[in-house]
Amino acid sequence: MSFRRILIANRGEIACRVIRTCNLMGIETVLAVSEADKNSLPAILADQIVIIGPASATSSYLDISNIINGAHTAKVDAIHPGYGFLSENAEFALACKENNIKFIGPSTTVLNSVGDKLQARSIAIQAGLPVVPGGDAADIKTSEEVAAKIGFPLLVKAVGGGGGRGMKLVTRQEDLLNSIELAKAEADAAFADARVYLERYVTNGRHIEVQVVGDGKSYIHLGDRDCSIQRRYQKLFEEAPAPHLPEKIRNELHASAIKLASFLEYEGLGTVEFLYDGNREEFYFLEMNARIQVEHPVTEMITGVDLVMEQIRIAEGLPLSLKQEDIVFQGHAIECRINAENWRNDFLPNPGMISKFKVPVGTGIRVDTHVQSGSTISPYYDSLVAKIITHGGDRQDAMEKMHLALKVFTIEGVDTTKSLHQLLVRDKDVQAGGMDTGFFNGFFAQHSQKGDLRG
């Protein structure tokens, strides 16, 4: 079936992003908004809005019944969940199905399978993928046995979530039980699921992910991305393709991602995340995100494929429009996430009104945002303001364009991470490429000592 009207159950820049593709496809858009977002830029851009609750995300963007009621009111054919919020929630996908509304994403079976990190590990093993050594932390005895087997340092990770929440690094045996309890409490608060598991910590690992898309019968990959520059497991800077990756490893990563998608009979857009140990030239499956990613633009830039359009086409029941041989990788792309945060003060969120907003333009420069001059950054939600993406003939070209784009990019009224990214793109190690996930801690400490954090 062809969709006539889609409800976007999200906010911010991803809502604007989905609206843009729907406009290209001739599909009407209805934006589900909280009271706090009813005058936002996405609300202005959408054909229609439905208010789904007060500012609190729990009572609006996370309230399944409110969203379904809004979808009925607007008489939509489908719901696009974006990322975050309910995008990987199997209960939400089931509610859509029970109400004859198409959920733009994979099946509830897949969402249940990959949403539970322990189950996802088990499925990856069945599909023939290598996983990081680890195991369950259901009780004290089991936790101590797993820790003794994999050794320290290790990570305590939440079974039901991601984004660094419910994750603790443990370097000593005596800290294990306390770290598990802290992780459980954090996971329970964030995901209403206190379960955690243990995983070996790969000291110099790189976070590499592979974009896949499938229609339940055919599957292709759209290359890889490097997301290793992270603060507390939150991505800051992403690029495609991953630099300085041995071609043998790159090909094996792509093949493993396809193998998992095929095993799951995957329908829609998905990202298979891996940890690459450059010292051993080995990689391990980490998790699969069954949704569009924040960093999807870098893949779009090097492939020319509109990933949101592919999501929608597959949800309409159409087969993949592309074969693997149709995918041609061109150049290099980089993305910097600009957040409304005072990064010099422990990345403290800085909500408020934007008094001036100016974006860079030019060949190979893209800005995904949901704000303009006069917009207000709400204290209720994620602090992401904009994503600046550059595309060049090679990595150096993309990096130079990013340097110029950040120089032009202007935002006043709130503190942002723009100046942090300016430091990053000028850093000799970042310019060389191939940083591991521990890079940012050292980078931050170095600039702290040099006084760059004083403003």
Domain count, the chain: 3
- For residue 30, the domain's CATH number is 3.40.50.20
Examine the domain organization and report whether 189 and 221 are in the same domain: no
- 191 and 315 both lie in a single domain: no
Whether 110 is in a domain gets the answer no
Q: What is the pLDDT of residues 82-141, one digit of tens each?
A: 999 999 999 999 999 999 999 999 999 999 999 888 899 999 999 999 999 999 998 989
Query: How far is the C-alpha of 46 from the C-alpha of 28, rounded, in Å?
Result: 8
State the average pLDDT for the chain: 95
**Contact present, 358 and 409 (Cβ < 8 Å):** yes
Under 8 Å between Cβ of 158 and 187? yes
Q: Which residues are catalytic?
A: 291
Residue 350 CA, chain-centre distance (Å), reads 22
Give the SS3 label for residue 274: strand
Whether residue 54 is preceded by a cis peptide bond, meaning omega within 30 degrees of 0, is: no
**Last-in-domain residue among 176, 200, 224:** 200
CB atoms within 10 A of CB 403: 15
Give pLDDT, residue 198.
95
Residue-wise pLDDT for 358-400, tens only, equals 999 999 999 999 999 999 999 999 999 999 999 999 999 999 9
Residues 339 and 435 in one domain: yes
C-alpha distances in angstroms, 389 versus 74, 168, 429, 436?
34, 31, 20, 21
What integer pLDDT is reported at residue 422 of this predicted model?
97
Domain boundary residue among 154, 173, 200? 200
Task: Report the 3 state secondary structure along 372-388.
Answer: CCCCEECCCCCCEEEEE
CATH number at residue 195: 3.30.1490.20
Is the residue at 10 inside a domain?
yes
Q: Are residues 332 and 184 in the same domain?
A: no
Say yes or no: 189 and 292 in one domain: no
pLDDT of 455 strictly over 50? no
Domain region containing 38: 5-104
Question: At which of 165, 183, 200 does a domain end?
Answer: 200
Tokens 């400490």 found at: 445
3-class state of residue 117 by DSSP: helix
CB atoms within 10 A of CB 111: 22
- Quickly list DSSP for 336-401: EEEESEEGGGTTEE--EE-SEEE---STTEEEEES--TT-EE-TTS--EEEEEEEEESSHHHHHHH
Amino acid identity for residue 359 in this structure: V
Same domain, 241 and 374: yes
User: Using CB atoms within 10 A of its CB, is residue 152 exposed (0-12), middle (13-18) or buried (19+)?
Assistant: middle
* 403 in the same domain as 279: yes
For residue 122, tell me if it sits in a domain: no
Pair (154, 82) in one structural domain: no
Domain shared by 186 and 330, yes or no: no
CATH number at residue 290: 3.30.470.20
Residue 213 and residue 145 share a domain: no
| Residue 125 located in a structural domain | no
Residue 440 included in any domain: yes
153 and 291 share one domain: no
Q: Are residues 316 and 416 in the same domain?
A: yes
Omega cis (within 30) before 360: no
